[in-house]
Amino acid sequence: MDFWTALKDAFGSQAVDLRDRLLTDGDYGRRSADSIRRIVVHHTAVDASRTWAAVAAYHVNGNNWPGIGYHLGIARDGVLSYLGDIETVRYHAGRANADSIGVCFAGNYMNDEPTAAMLATYARLVSVIEAHLGRQVTVVGHRDVGATACPGDRLYAALFSPREPLPGDEPSATAEKVRWWLEECTRQFEADNAERARAILYSLIALAYRLEQGGREKEEG
């Protein structure tokens, strides 16, 4: 199954294919899906109303790139846009470009919180990518592989604070982290910071999805 078909199956009308509808000037190099090892998360760092067409135009005209640097984009309402074929090596994370898929959240998350809809889309997208590749991938923020604030403090915290266990982590360590984050969630609710509490909850849901996926793969051998 090709990746766009997999996206359509998972997201229905919540996924749009913009691959042939954005400004380009030449072609990115191609790769096999076998070489994909990780997902790098970005934010656009501009107002969330900026269209993917405008982002593409900036990457082509401002940066002199062959096309938009990201492979996938997630809007505030959770709509997923397929921006550039995953079998192309695009410019989004410097030396991490060759083996990664660039997923970009529309908006600036230094101070704003990501919406529940976009975190839900993101969680499902990671599952779809892993199902498509037939293996797990590492998920990192742009700041983990480059000198940048991207994807913003709030988005980074929402996605990576209750992080997935690393190889070698004891299961009890994971349980301990989940317990701590649930308590943090309660503290945020009590401090009337519902947006932050909700973001923590959704990242825990994303973590649960990924743990379930990993457990199922182990059961299936």
Instruction: List interacting residues with Zn ion (CB under 5 A).
Output: 42, 142, 150
Q: How far apart are CA 99 and CA 107, in angstroms?
A: 25
CB 75 within 8 A of CB 82: no
Using the minimum distance from each CB to Zn ion, give the nearer residue, 146 or 165.
146
Using the minimum distance from each CB to Zn ion, give the nearer residue, 92 or 198.
92
> Shortest Cβ distance from residue 43 to Zn ion (Å)?
7
Minimal CA–CA distance to 12: which of 75, 80, 104, 86? 80
As beta bridge partners, residue 138 has: 38
Using the minimum distance from each CB to Zn ion, give the nearer residue, 46 or 173.
46
> Shortest Cβ distance from residue 182 to Zn ion (Å)?
30
> Shortest Cβ distance from residue 64 to Zn ion (Å)?
18
Using the minimum distance from each CB to Zn ion, give the nearer residue, 124 or 142.
142
> Shortest Cβ distance from residue 201 to Zn ion (Å)?
25
> Shortest Cβ distance from residue 158 to Zn ion (Å)?
16
> Shortest Cβ distance from residue 141 to Zn ion (Å)?
8
Using the minimum distance from each CB to Zn ion, give the nearer residue, 45 or 57.
45
Using the minimum distance from each CB to Zn ion, give the nearer residue, 43 or 196.
43
